[in-house]
Chains A and B, each alone.
Chain A
Amino acid sequence: MSRRRIRTILLKEWVLLFTDLNSALVVTLLPFLVVGQGILYIWLAFRFAGESMLAASVFQTALQKLVEAMPGVIQLPGQEQLLVLLLSQFNFFLLLIPTMIAISVATFSIVDEKLSGSLEALLATPVKTWELLLGKALAGAIPALLMTWLSGGVFLLVALALGWGHLIGYVVTARWFLTLFLLTPAVAILSFMLGVAGSARAKDPRGAQNTALLIILPVFALIGIQITGVVWFTPLLILLLALAIGIADFVTLRAAVRLFRRESIVVQWR
Protein backbone atom coordinates (compact mmCIF):
# COMPACT_ATOMS: atom_id res chain seq x y z
CA MET A 1 0.00 0.00 0.00
CA SER A 2 2.66 2.47 1.02
CA ARG A 3 4.53 2.03 -2.23
CA ARG A 4 1.44 2.65 -4.28
CA ARG A 5 0.60 5.72 -2.23
CA ILE A 6 4.08 7.13 -2.46
CA ARG A 7 4.07 6.64 -6.21
CA THR A 8 0.70 8.39 -6.46
CA ILE A 9 1.99 11.31 -4.41
CA LEU A 10 5.16 11.50 -6.45
CA LEU A 11 3.32 11.57 -9.76
CA LYS A 12 0.85 14.17 -8.56
CA GLU A 13 3.68 16.37 -7.33
CA TRP A 14 5.33 16.19 -10.71
CA VAL A 15 2.15 17.06 -12.55
CA LEU A 16 1.73 20.11 -10.31
CA LEU A 17 5.41 20.99 -10.55
CA PHE A 18 5.56 20.93 -14.31
CA THR A 19 2.28 22.75 -14.80
CA ASP A 20 3.66 25.68 -12.81
CA LEU A 21 5.86 27.72 -15.09
CA ASN A 22 8.12 29.10 -12.38
CA SER A 23 8.87 25.75 -10.82
CA ALA A 24 9.28 24.05 -14.15
CA LEU A 25 11.82 26.68 -15.15
CA VAL A 26 13.73 26.32 -11.90
CA VAL A 27 14.07 22.60 -12.45
CA THR A 28 14.83 22.58 -16.15
CA LEU A 29 16.68 25.79 -16.89
CA LEU A 30 18.44 26.70 -13.68
CA PRO A 31 20.98 23.85 -13.93
CA PHE A 32 22.05 25.06 -17.35
CA LEU A 33 22.30 28.63 -16.13
CA VAL A 34 24.55 27.46 -13.33
CA VAL A 35 26.77 25.49 -15.67
CA GLY A 36 26.79 28.16 -18.34
CA GLN A 37 27.65 30.86 -15.88
CA GLY A 38 30.40 28.81 -14.25
CA ILE A 39 32.03 28.07 -17.56
CA LEU A 40 31.71 31.64 -18.73
CA TYR A 41 33.49 32.91 -15.62
CA ILE A 42 36.26 30.37 -16.00
CA TRP A 43 36.70 31.16 -19.63
CA LEU A 44 36.77 34.91 -19.01
CA ALA A 45 39.22 34.54 -16.15
CA PHE A 46 41.42 32.25 -18.15
CA ARG A 47 41.31 34.41 -21.26
CA PHE A 48 41.66 37.88 -19.86
CA ALA A 49 42.87 37.74 -16.30
CA GLY A 50 45.07 34.71 -16.29
CA GLU A 51 48.36 36.60 -15.90
CA SER A 52 47.32 38.75 -13.00
CA MET A 53 45.57 35.88 -11.25
CA LEU A 54 48.68 33.77 -11.51
CA ALA A 55 50.60 36.53 -9.86
CA ALA A 56 48.14 36.91 -6.98
CA SER A 57 49.37 35.29 -3.80
CA VAL A 58 46.00 33.67 -2.98
CA PHE A 59 46.13 31.68 -6.13
CA GLN A 60 49.74 30.85 -5.55
CA THR A 61 48.85 29.08 -2.30
CA ALA A 62 45.89 27.39 -3.95
CA LEU A 63 48.03 26.23 -6.87
CA GLN A 64 50.60 24.91 -4.48
CA LYS A 65 47.96 22.77 -2.76
CA LEU A 66 46.66 21.62 -6.12
CA VAL A 67 50.12 20.51 -7.17
CA GLU A 68 50.64 18.73 -3.86
CA ALA A 69 47.43 16.82 -4.48
CA MET A 70 48.15 16.13 -8.15
CA PRO A 71 51.86 16.33 -8.91
CA GLY A 72 51.21 15.82 -12.62
CA VAL A 73 49.84 19.35 -12.87
CA ILE A 74 53.32 20.81 -12.49
CA GLN A 75 54.16 19.70 -16.02
CA LEU A 76 51.44 21.92 -17.48
CA PRO A 77 52.11 25.49 -18.53
CA GLY A 78 51.24 28.06 -15.86
CA GLN A 79 48.06 29.22 -17.59
CA GLU A 80 46.73 25.71 -17.78
CA GLN A 81 47.59 25.05 -14.15
CA LEU A 82 45.32 27.94 -13.32
CA LEU A 83 42.66 26.52 -15.59
CA VAL A 84 42.80 23.17 -13.77
CA LEU A 85 42.45 25.01 -10.49
CA LEU A 86 39.39 26.86 -11.72
CA LEU A 87 37.78 23.82 -13.28
CA SER A 88 38.36 21.89 -10.08
CA GLN A 89 35.93 24.22 -8.34
CA PHE A 90 33.18 22.98 -10.52
CA ASN A 91 32.21 19.99 -8.43
CA PHE A 92 31.25 22.25 -5.54
CA PHE A 93 29.71 24.76 -7.88
CA LEU A 94 27.38 22.00 -9.08
CA LEU A 95 26.11 21.62 -5.51
CA LEU A 96 24.10 24.79 -6.08
CA ILE A 97 21.82 22.79 -8.36
CA PRO A 98 20.47 20.17 -5.92
CA THR A 99 20.23 22.87 -3.28
CA MET A 100 18.08 25.18 -5.33
CA ILE A 101 15.92 22.49 -6.90
CA ALA A 102 15.24 20.66 -3.64
CA ILE A 103 14.38 23.87 -1.82
CA SER A 104 12.22 25.11 -4.61
CA VAL A 105 10.29 21.85 -4.91
CA ALA A 106 9.88 21.44 -1.16
CA THR A 107 8.59 24.92 -0.52
CA PHE A 108 6.45 24.96 -3.63
CA SER A 109 4.80 21.63 -2.95
CA ILE A 110 4.22 22.21 0.73
CA VAL A 111 3.38 25.91 1.02
CA ASP A 112 1.03 25.76 -1.94
CA GLU A 113 -0.80 22.84 -0.45
CA LYS A 114 -0.86 24.36 3.00
CA LEU A 115 -2.30 27.66 1.79
CA SER A 116 -4.95 26.09 -0.42
CA GLY A 117 -6.15 23.88 2.43
CA SER A 118 -5.61 20.65 0.50
CA LEU A 119 -3.03 19.54 3.07
CA GLU A 120 -5.69 19.59 5.76
CA ALA A 121 -8.08 17.61 3.58
CA LEU A 122 -5.29 15.09 2.98
CA LEU A 123 -4.78 14.70 6.70
CA ALA A 124 -8.35 13.44 7.01
CA THR A 125 -7.51 10.48 4.75
CA PRO A 126 -5.68 7.34 5.89
CA VAL A 127 -2.44 8.53 4.27
CA LYS A 128 0.46 8.40 6.70
CA THR A 129 2.34 11.63 7.05
CA TRP A 130 5.69 9.93 6.44
CA GLU A 131 4.34 8.66 3.14
CA LEU A 132 3.43 12.21 2.22
CA LEU A 133 6.80 13.53 3.26
CA LEU A 134 8.68 10.79 1.42
CA GLY A 135 6.58 11.22 -1.72
CA LYS A 136 7.29 14.93 -1.74
CA ALA A 137 10.98 14.44 -0.91
CA LEU A 138 11.41 12.02 -3.82
CA ALA A 139 9.54 14.40 -6.08
CA GLY A 140 12.21 16.97 -5.28
CA ALA A 141 15.25 14.72 -4.93
CA ILE A 142 14.91 12.79 -8.17
CA PRO A 143 14.92 15.80 -10.49
CA ALA A 144 17.56 17.44 -8.30
CA LEU A 145 19.95 14.52 -8.69
CA LEU A 146 19.21 13.89 -12.34
CA MET A 147 19.71 17.52 -13.24
CA THR A 148 22.95 17.71 -11.27
CA TRP A 149 24.38 14.71 -13.02
CA LEU A 150 23.17 15.94 -16.35
CA SER A 151 24.78 19.30 -15.65
CA GLY A 152 28.04 17.56 -14.74
CA GLY A 153 27.93 15.83 -18.11
CA VAL A 154 27.13 19.03 -19.95
CA PHE A 155 30.02 20.74 -18.19
CA LEU A 156 32.44 18.08 -19.38
CA LEU A 157 31.13 18.29 -22.94
CA VAL A 158 31.51 22.05 -23.00
CA ALA A 159 35.02 21.77 -21.58
CA LEU A 160 35.84 19.34 -24.39
CA ALA A 161 34.37 21.68 -26.96
CA LEU A 162 36.49 24.53 -25.63
CA GLY A 163 39.58 22.43 -26.25
CA TRP A 164 40.28 21.63 -22.62
CA GLY A 165 39.95 17.91 -23.14
CA HIS A 166 43.52 17.15 -22.06
CA LEU A 167 42.80 18.74 -18.65
CA ILE A 168 39.68 16.74 -17.87
CA GLY A 169 41.74 13.95 -16.40
CA TYR A 170 42.77 16.36 -13.63
CA VAL A 171 39.20 17.41 -12.95
CA VAL A 172 37.23 14.18 -13.16
CA THR A 173 38.92 12.46 -10.28
CA ALA A 174 37.75 10.69 -7.14
CA ARG A 175 36.78 14.14 -5.83
CA TRP A 176 34.46 14.64 -8.75
CA PHE A 177 32.67 11.33 -8.29
CA LEU A 178 32.46 11.61 -4.52
CA THR A 179 30.91 15.04 -4.86
CA LEU A 180 28.43 14.00 -7.49
CA PHE A 181 27.35 10.71 -6.02
CA LEU A 182 27.71 11.20 -2.27
CA LEU A 183 27.72 14.87 -1.48
CA THR A 184 25.00 15.79 -3.96
CA PRO A 185 22.35 13.41 -2.53
CA ALA A 186 23.26 14.41 1.02
CA VAL A 187 22.99 18.09 0.17
CA ALA A 188 19.72 17.54 -1.69
CA ILE A 189 18.15 15.85 1.34
CA LEU A 190 19.37 18.55 3.69
CA SER A 191 18.01 21.26 1.40
CA PHE A 192 14.67 19.53 1.13
CA MET A 193 14.34 19.20 4.89
CA LEU A 194 15.22 22.86 5.33
CA GLY A 195 12.57 23.61 2.76
CA VAL A 196 10.04 21.67 4.83
CA ALA A 197 11.06 23.55 7.97
CA GLY A 198 10.82 26.87 6.15
CA SER A 199 7.39 25.94 4.84
CA ALA A 200 5.92 25.25 8.25
CA ARG A 201 5.68 28.87 9.26
CA ALA A 202 5.87 30.67 5.97
CA LYS A 203 2.91 32.56 4.54
CA ASP A 204 4.09 32.10 0.94
CA PRO A 205 6.66 30.03 -0.94
CA ARG A 206 9.07 32.94 -1.20
CA GLY A 207 9.22 33.35 2.56
CA ALA A 208 9.94 29.66 2.94
CA GLN A 209 12.63 29.81 0.30
CA ASN A 210 14.35 32.73 1.92
CA THR A 211 14.76 30.73 5.10
CA ALA A 212 15.88 27.62 3.34
CA LEU A 213 18.23 29.35 0.92
CA LEU A 214 20.58 30.08 3.80
CA ILE A 215 22.04 26.71 2.94
CA ILE A 216 23.51 28.24 -0.21
CA LEU A 217 25.91 30.27 1.89
CA PRO A 218 27.89 27.23 3.09
CA VAL A 219 28.10 26.01 -0.50
CA PHE A 220 29.66 29.30 -1.55
CA ALA A 221 31.89 29.09 1.50
CA LEU A 222 33.14 25.72 0.30
CA ILE A 223 34.10 27.16 -3.06
CA GLY A 224 35.70 30.16 -1.40
CA ILE A 225 37.72 28.04 0.98
CA GLN A 226 39.02 25.88 -1.81
CA ILE A 227 39.76 28.48 -4.46
CA THR A 228 41.68 30.66 -2.06
CA GLY A 229 43.79 27.71 -1.05
CA VAL A 230 42.80 27.69 2.61
CA VAL A 231 41.94 24.02 2.35
CA TRP A 232 42.31 21.67 -0.56
CA PHE A 233 39.48 19.13 -0.43
CA THR A 234 41.04 15.74 -0.79
CA PRO A 235 38.77 12.76 -1.43
CA LEU A 236 39.02 11.91 2.26
CA LEU A 237 37.91 15.40 3.24
CA ILE A 238 34.98 15.23 0.86
CA LEU A 239 34.06 11.87 2.30
CA LEU A 240 34.12 13.35 5.80
CA LEU A 241 32.09 16.32 4.62
CA ALA A 242 29.50 13.98 3.12
CA LEU A 243 29.42 12.10 6.39
CA ALA A 244 28.86 15.30 8.35
CA ILE A 245 26.07 16.37 6.04
CA GLY A 246 24.66 12.86 6.29
CA ILE A 247 24.45 13.31 10.05
CA ALA A 248 22.82 16.70 9.55
CA ASP A 249 20.37 14.95 7.18
CA PHE A 250 19.49 12.49 9.86
CA VAL A 251 18.91 15.19 12.47
CA THR A 252 16.83 17.40 10.17
CA LEU A 253 14.93 14.40 8.90
CA ARG A 254 13.84 13.56 12.41
CA ALA A 255 12.89 17.17 13.04
CA ALA A 256 11.00 17.30 9.75
CA VAL A 257 9.10 14.10 10.52
CA ARG A 258 8.03 15.56 13.84
CA LEU A 259 7.14 18.83 12.18
CA PHE A 260 5.13 16.88 9.65
CA ARG A 261 2.83 15.11 12.08
CA ARG A 262 -0.87 15.60 11.64
CA GLU A 263 -1.21 17.38 14.93
CA SER A 264 1.69 19.74 14.23
CA ILE A 265 0.54 20.61 10.74
CA VAL A 266 -3.01 21.33 11.83
CA VAL A 267 -2.14 23.21 14.99
CA GLN A 268 1.17 24.92 14.39
CA TRP A 269 1.30 25.58 10.68
CA ARG A 270 -0.76 28.72 10.68
Chain B
Amino acid sequence: MAVIETFGLSRNFGKTIAVEDVTLAVEAGEVLGFLGPNGAGKTTTIRMLAGMIAPTEGYAIVAGHRTDRDMEQLHEMVGMLTQTPGLYDRLSARRNLQYFASFYPSVESQSQVEKYLKLMGLWERRDSKAGTFSKGMKQRLALARALVHEPKVLFLDEPTAGLDPEAAGEVRQLIRTLREEGRTVFLSTHNLNEAEMLCSRIAVIHTRLLALDTPEQLRRRFFRRQIIVQLEASDAKVMEVVKSLPFVQEARGEGSQLILELTDLERNRPELVKAIVEAGGRVIGVSEKQYPLEDVYLKLIREESGNES
Protein backbone atom coordinates (compact mmCIF):
# COMPACT_ATOMS: atom_id res chain seq x y z
CA MET B 1 0.00 0.00 0.00
CA ALA B 2 1.36 3.38 -0.94
CA VAL B 3 1.78 5.75 2.00
CA ILE B 4 3.10 8.64 -0.05
CA GLU B 5 1.64 9.29 -3.46
CA THR B 6 2.14 12.33 -5.64
CA PHE B 7 0.34 13.21 -8.82
CA GLY B 8 2.02 15.73 -11.11
CA LEU B 9 3.30 17.61 -8.09
CA SER B 10 4.72 20.99 -9.11
CA ARG B 11 5.76 24.15 -7.38
CA ASN B 12 6.86 27.52 -8.74
CA PHE B 13 8.27 30.46 -6.86
CA GLY B 14 7.41 33.33 -9.13
CA LYS B 15 9.27 32.50 -12.30
CA THR B 16 11.48 29.86 -10.71
CA ILE B 17 10.25 26.33 -11.26
CA ALA B 18 11.41 24.47 -8.19
CA VAL B 19 9.60 21.17 -8.73
CA GLU B 20 7.87 20.05 -11.89
CA ASP B 21 5.45 17.23 -12.51
CA VAL B 22 6.70 14.75 -9.95
CA THR B 23 4.63 11.58 -9.81
CA LEU B 24 5.77 8.85 -7.48
CA ALA B 25 4.60 6.41 -4.86
CA VAL B 26 6.34 5.21 -1.72
CA GLU B 27 5.21 1.96 -0.16
CA ALA B 28 4.53 1.50 3.53
CA GLY B 29 7.72 0.58 5.36
CA GLU B 30 9.94 1.68 2.52
CA VAL B 31 12.97 3.93 2.92
CA LEU B 32 13.11 6.01 -0.21
CA GLY B 33 16.27 7.91 -1.05
CA PHE B 34 15.57 11.31 -2.55
CA LEU B 35 18.65 12.46 -4.36
CA GLY B 36 19.47 15.62 -6.22
CA PRO B 37 22.08 18.36 -6.48
CA ASN B 38 21.72 21.72 -4.71
CA GLY B 39 18.57 23.51 -5.75
CA ALA B 40 17.05 20.36 -7.24
CA GLY B 41 13.83 20.82 -5.32
CA LYS B 42 14.32 18.28 -2.53
CA THR B 43 13.38 20.59 0.32
CA THR B 44 10.52 22.07 -1.68
CA THR B 45 9.12 18.60 -2.34
CA ILE B 46 9.43 17.61 1.30
CA ARG B 47 7.72 20.81 2.38
CA MET B 48 4.83 20.06 0.05
CA LEU B 49 4.58 16.49 1.29
CA ALA B 50 4.65 17.59 4.92
CA GLY B 51 1.85 20.08 4.34
CA MET B 52 3.93 23.19 4.91
CA ILE B 53 3.53 24.75 1.50
CA ALA B 54 0.95 24.13 -1.19
CA PRO B 55 1.76 22.81 -4.65
CA THR B 56 1.06 25.16 -7.54
CA GLU B 57 -0.09 22.19 -9.56
CA GLY B 58 -0.86 18.57 -8.86
CA TYR B 59 -1.33 17.15 -5.39
CA ALA B 60 -0.03 14.61 -2.95
CA ILE B 61 -1.60 12.13 -0.56
CA VAL B 62 0.39 11.20 2.51
CA ALA B 63 -0.89 8.73 5.11
CA GLY B 64 -4.31 9.02 3.54
CA HIS B 65 -4.51 12.82 3.69
CA ARG B 66 -4.31 15.42 0.95
CA THR B 67 -1.30 17.48 1.93
CA ASP B 68 -2.89 20.73 0.81
CA ARG B 69 -6.24 20.17 2.52
CA ASP B 70 -6.21 18.04 5.67
CA MET B 71 -3.10 19.65 7.06
CA GLU B 72 -3.95 19.22 10.70
CA GLN B 73 -4.56 15.50 10.54
CA LEU B 74 -1.55 15.17 8.28
CA HIS B 75 0.72 16.91 10.76
CA GLU B 76 -0.23 14.40 13.42
CA MET B 77 0.85 11.53 11.18
CA VAL B 78 4.15 12.82 9.85
CA GLY B 79 7.45 13.70 11.42
CA MET B 80 9.86 16.15 9.89
CA LEU B 81 13.55 16.68 10.30
CA THR B 82 14.26 20.06 8.76
CA GLN B 83 17.51 20.84 7.02
CA THR B 84 18.73 22.80 10.07
CA PRO B 85 18.07 21.27 13.51
CA GLY B 86 16.12 24.36 14.63
CA LEU B 87 16.31 23.87 18.38
CA TYR B 88 15.88 26.38 21.17
CA ASP B 89 19.46 26.80 22.29
CA ARG B 90 18.53 28.24 25.65
CA LEU B 91 16.13 25.44 26.54
CA SER B 92 17.27 22.08 27.84
CA ALA B 93 17.04 19.00 25.66
CA ARG B 94 14.06 17.84 27.66
CA ARG B 95 12.24 21.14 27.46
CA ASN B 96 12.82 21.29 23.71
CA LEU B 97 11.15 17.93 23.27
CA GLN B 98 8.36 18.62 25.72
CA TYR B 99 7.48 21.82 23.95
CA PHE B 100 7.09 20.14 20.60
CA ALA B 101 5.37 17.07 22.05
CA SER B 102 2.74 19.26 23.66
CA PHE B 103 1.30 20.15 20.25
CA TYR B 104 0.16 16.62 19.52
CA PRO B 105 -3.20 15.94 21.11
CA SER B 106 -2.78 12.19 21.54
CA VAL B 107 0.75 12.13 22.88
CA GLU B 108 1.67 11.19 26.43
CA SER B 109 4.50 13.64 26.34
CA GLN B 110 6.25 12.74 29.58
CA SER B 111 6.92 9.12 28.69
CA GLN B 112 7.54 9.79 25.00
CA VAL B 113 10.12 12.43 25.79
CA GLU B 114 11.89 10.05 28.12
CA LYS B 115 11.76 7.23 25.58
CA TYR B 116 13.36 9.25 22.82
CA LEU B 117 15.94 10.98 24.98
CA LYS B 118 17.09 7.53 26.01
CA LEU B 119 16.94 6.11 22.51
CA MET B 120 19.05 8.96 21.16
CA GLY B 121 21.60 8.62 23.96
CA LEU B 122 20.76 12.04 25.38
CA TRP B 123 19.18 11.01 28.66
CA GLU B 124 22.29 11.82 30.69
CA ARG B 125 22.33 15.29 29.16
CA ARG B 126 18.60 15.87 29.34
CA ASP B 127 18.87 18.98 31.46
CA SER B 128 21.71 20.57 29.52
CA LYS B 129 20.86 23.41 27.21
CA ALA B 130 20.62 22.42 23.57
CA GLY B 131 23.03 25.23 22.73
CA THR B 132 25.83 23.37 24.49
CA PHE B 133 25.39 20.25 22.34
CA SER B 134 27.69 19.09 19.54
CA LYS B 135 26.35 19.04 16.01
CA GLY B 136 25.73 15.31 16.19
CA MET B 137 23.85 15.60 19.48
CA LYS B 138 21.76 18.41 18.10
CA GLN B 139 20.86 16.30 15.12
CA ARG B 140 19.87 13.42 17.36
CA LEU B 141 17.74 15.74 19.45
CA ALA B 142 16.10 17.04 16.29
CA LEU B 143 15.46 13.44 15.26
CA ALA B 144 13.93 12.73 18.65
CA ARG B 145 11.68 15.72 18.08
CA ALA B 146 10.61 14.38 14.70
CA LEU B 147 9.76 11.04 16.32
CA VAL B 148 8.25 12.02 19.62
CA HIS B 149 4.67 11.58 18.40
CA GLU B 150 5.41 8.20 16.77
CA PRO B 151 4.71 9.28 13.21
CA LYS B 152 4.11 6.65 10.55
CA VAL B 153 5.82 8.73 7.92
CA LEU B 154 9.10 10.55 8.35
CA PHE B 155 10.64 13.21 6.19
CA LEU B 156 14.34 13.60 6.75
CA ASP B 157 15.98 16.49 4.93
CA GLU B 158 19.70 15.74 4.64
CA PRO B 159 19.98 14.19 8.11
CA THR B 160 23.72 13.54 7.95
CA ALA B 161 24.84 16.73 6.19
CA GLY B 162 27.69 18.40 8.03
CA LEU B 163 28.19 15.60 10.55
CA ASP B 164 31.51 13.87 11.12
CA PRO B 165 31.69 10.22 9.99
CA GLU B 166 30.99 8.86 13.45
CA ALA B 167 27.96 11.07 14.08
CA ALA B 168 26.69 10.39 10.56
CA GLY B 169 27.08 6.67 11.23
CA GLU B 170 24.97 6.98 14.37
CA VAL B 171 22.24 8.77 12.50
CA ARG B 172 22.30 6.09 9.80
CA GLN B 173 22.00 3.42 12.43
CA LEU B 174 18.91 5.17 13.74
CA ILE B 175 17.41 5.26 10.28
CA ARG B 176 17.97 1.51 10.04
CA THR B 177 16.12 1.11 13.32
CA LEU B 178 13.25 3.13 11.92
CA ARG B 179 13.19 0.92 8.88
CA GLU B 180 13.05 -2.17 11.08
CA GLU B 181 10.14 -0.65 12.96
CA GLY B 182 8.27 -0.48 9.68
CA ARG B 183 8.11 3.27 9.35
CA THR B 184 8.04 4.89 5.97
CA VAL B 185 11.01 7.18 5.51
CA PHE B 186 11.50 9.80 2.83
CA LEU B 187 15.20 10.54 2.98
CA SER B 188 16.63 13.46 1.11
CA THR B 189 20.40 13.32 0.73
CA HIS B 190 23.40 14.27 -1.38
CA ASN B 191 25.20 11.18 -0.32
CA LEU B 192 24.86 8.28 -2.73
CA ASN B 193 26.58 5.73 -0.57
CA GLU B 194 24.22 6.60 2.20
CA ALA B 195 21.23 6.18 -0.09
CA GLU B 196 22.53 2.85 -1.25
CA MET B 197 23.13 1.64 2.29
CA LEU B 198 19.74 2.63 3.63
CA CYS B 199 17.25 2.77 0.83
CA SER B 200 15.30 0.14 -1.02
CA ARG B 201 14.73 2.54 -3.88
CA ILE B 202 16.25 5.78 -5.00
CA ALA B 203 14.57 8.72 -6.68
CA VAL B 204 16.77 11.15 -8.54
CA ILE B 205 15.31 14.61 -8.90
CA HIS B 206 16.47 17.67 -10.74
CA THR B 207 13.31 19.77 -10.75
CA ARG B 208 11.76 16.84 -12.58
CA LEU B 209 11.93 13.25 -11.44
CA LEU B 210 14.74 11.70 -13.47
CA ALA B 211 14.63 8.16 -12.20
CA LEU B 212 13.08 6.02 -9.50
CA ASP B 213 14.36 2.51 -9.04
CA THR B 214 16.42 0.16 -6.92
CA PRO B 215 20.12 1.02 -6.84
CA GLU B 216 20.89 -2.17 -8.79
CA GLN B 217 18.39 -1.44 -11.53
CA LEU B 218 19.61 2.11 -11.83
CA ARG B 219 23.12 0.82 -12.48
CA ARG B 220 21.90 -1.67 -15.06
CA ARG B 221 19.88 0.92 -16.81
CA PHE B 222 22.70 3.33 -17.29
CA PHE B 223 25.66 1.10 -17.77
CA ARG B 224 25.92 -2.04 -19.84
CA ARG B 225 27.49 -4.78 -17.80
CA GLN B 226 31.14 -5.29 -18.53
CA ILE B 227 33.70 -7.87 -17.59
CA ILE B 228 37.32 -7.23 -16.73
CA VAL B 229 39.96 -9.83 -17.52
CA GLN B 230 43.19 -9.17 -15.71
CA LEU B 231 46.18 -10.55 -17.64
CA GLU B 232 49.75 -10.83 -16.54
CA ALA B 233 50.75 -8.47 -19.34
CA SER B 234 49.04 -6.86 -22.30
CA ASP B 235 49.08 -9.06 -25.35
CA ALA B 236 48.08 -8.00 -28.89
CA LYS B 237 47.55 -11.57 -30.05
CA VAL B 238 45.15 -12.35 -27.24
CA MET B 239 43.23 -9.17 -28.02
CA GLU B 240 42.85 -10.22 -31.63
CA VAL B 241 41.56 -13.65 -30.66
CA VAL B 242 39.12 -12.20 -28.18
CA LYS B 243 37.75 -9.75 -30.73
CA SER B 244 37.08 -12.59 -33.16
CA LEU B 245 34.92 -14.51 -30.66
CA PRO B 246 31.24 -14.45 -31.76
CA PHE B 247 29.84 -13.54 -28.32
CA VAL B 248 32.19 -10.62 -27.70
CA GLN B 249 30.34 -7.44 -28.59
CA GLU B 250 32.94 -4.94 -27.66
CA ALA B 251 36.51 -5.15 -26.48
CA ARG B 252 39.15 -2.71 -25.46
CA GLY B 253 42.42 -2.94 -23.66
CA GLU B 254 43.48 -0.85 -20.69
CA GLY B 255 47.04 -1.72 -19.78
CA SER B 256 47.07 -5.37 -18.84
CA GLN B 257 43.28 -5.42 -18.56
CA LEU B 258 40.73 -6.43 -21.16
CA ILE B 259 37.37 -4.78 -20.79
CA LEU B 260 34.67 -6.68 -22.60
CA GLU B 261 30.99 -6.72 -23.25
CA LEU B 262 29.52 -10.16 -23.77
CA THR B 263 26.20 -11.41 -25.11
CA ASP B 264 25.67 -13.28 -21.87
CA LEU B 265 27.89 -12.18 -19.06
CA GLU B 266 27.55 -15.40 -17.07
CA ARG B 267 27.34 -18.14 -19.69
CA ASN B 268 30.01 -16.88 -22.07
CA ARG B 269 32.60 -16.56 -19.37
CA PRO B 270 34.10 -20.10 -19.42
CA GLU B 271 34.39 -20.01 -23.22
CA LEU B 272 36.13 -16.69 -23.05
CA VAL B 273 38.68 -17.80 -20.49
CA LYS B 274 39.38 -20.96 -22.47
CA ALA B 275 39.99 -18.99 -25.67
CA ILE B 276 42.33 -16.57 -23.93
CA VAL B 277 44.33 -19.34 -22.34
CA GLU B 278 44.59 -21.21 -25.62
CA ALA B 279 45.91 -18.05 -27.28
CA GLY B 280 48.68 -18.00 -24.70
CA GLY B 281 47.22 -15.37 -22.39
CA ARG B 282 47.94 -15.76 -18.67
CA VAL B 283 44.80 -14.90 -16.72
CA ILE B 284 45.11 -13.53 -13.21
CA GLY B 285 41.45 -12.84 -12.62
CA VAL B 286 38.03 -12.27 -14.12
CA SER B 287 35.53 -9.92 -12.56
CA GLU B 288 32.54 -7.78 -13.37
CA LYS B 289 33.18 -4.08 -13.68
CA GLN B 290 31.51 -2.23 -10.82
CA TYR B 291 30.15 1.19 -11.50
CA PRO B 292 29.67 3.21 -8.40
CA LEU B 293 26.19 4.65 -8.07
CA GLU B 294 27.91 7.99 -8.14
CA ASP B 295 28.51 7.54 -11.85
CA VAL B 296 24.87 6.70 -12.47
CA TYR B 297 23.85 9.79 -10.65
CA LEU B 298 26.30 12.07 -12.43
CA LYS B 299 25.24 10.63 -15.74
CA LEU B 300 21.60 11.30 -14.99
CA ILE B 301 22.22 14.84 -13.93
CA ARG B 302 24.47 15.55 -16.90
CA GLU B 303 21.98 14.14 -19.36
CA GLU B 304 19.32 16.31 -17.82
CA SER B 305 21.47 19.44 -18.03
CA GLY B 306 22.31 18.51 -21.60
CA ASN B 307 18.63 18.38 -22.50
CA GLU B 308 18.07 21.80 -21.10
CA SER B 309 20.70 23.58 -23.13
A residues touching B (Cβ–Cβ < 8 Å)? 1, 4-5, 8, 12, 15-16, 19-20, 113, 116-128, 262-263, 266-267
Contact = CB atoms under 8 A, between A and B. Distances in A.
B291 interface: no
A264 to B, nearest CB: 10
B104 interface: yes
B53 A126 contact: no
A117 B105 contact: no
A267 to B, nearest CB: 6
B170 interface: no
B72 to A, nearest CB: 5
B268 to A, nearest CB: 54
B102 interface: yes
B266 to A, nearest CB: 49
Contact of B78 (A116, A120, A124): A124
B47 interface: yes
Contacts of A1: 105
Given A8-B102, A124-B50, A124-B52, A16 B90 contact: yes
Contact of A117 (B84, B95, B99): B84
Interface in B99-128: 99-100, 102-105
B82 A120 contact: yes
Nearest to B86: A117
Interface string B1-26: 00000000000010000000000000
B142 A121 contact: yes
Nearest to A15: B91
Contacts of A117: 82-86
B100 A125 contact: yes
A19 B95 CA distance: 14
Contacts of A119: 86
A116 B102 contact: no
B80 A8 contact: no
Contacts of B183: none
For the complex of A and B, 3 pairs with smallest distance between CB atoms:
A117-B86, A124-B80, A117-B84
A121 B46 CA distance: 13
Interface of B is mostly: loop
A185 to B, nearest CB: 28
B76 interface: yes
B231 interface: no
A48 to B, nearest CB: 47
Interface string B67-91: 0000110011011101111111111
B104 A126 contact: yes
Interface residues of B, number: 33
Given A12-B99, A124-B80, A125-B104, 13 more contacts: A1-B105, A12-B91, A19-B90, A116-B84, A117-B86, A120-B82, A120-B86, A121-B80, A124-B82, A126-B104, A126-B105, A263-B52, A263-B53
Q: Counting chain B CB atoms within 10 Å of each CB, which of A1, A4, A127 scores highest?
A: A127
B145 interface: yes
Nearest to B11: A267
B98 to A, nearest CB: 9
A121 B82 contact: yes
B171 interface: no
B42 to A, nearest CB: 15
Nearest to A128: B72
A116 B87 CA distance: 7
A12 B95 CA distance: 9
A262 B90 contact: no
B103 A125 contact: yes
A4 B105 CA distance: 10
Nearest to A120: B82
B110 to A, nearest CB: 14
B62 interface: no
Contact of B52 (A4, A113, A126, A266): A266
Given A116-B87, A121-B145, A266-B47, A5 B102 contact: yes
Contact of A125 (B75, B87, B89): B75
Given A123-B52, A125-B75, A126-B76, A16 B102 contact: no
B82 to A, nearest CB: 5
A10 B67 CA distance: 29
A66 to B, nearest CB: 49
B54 interface: yes
A5 B105 CA distance: 10
Given A126-B76, A262-B52, A266-B47, A116 B88 contact: yes
Given A124-B75, A125-B103, A126-B104, A16 B52 contact: no
Contacts of B51: 124, 262
A32 B267 CA distance: 91
Contacts of B86: 116-121
8 contacts: A12-B95, A12-B99, A15-B95, A121-B80, A124-B80, A125-B103, A262-B52, A262-B71
A262 B53 contact: yes
A123 B86 CA distance: 11
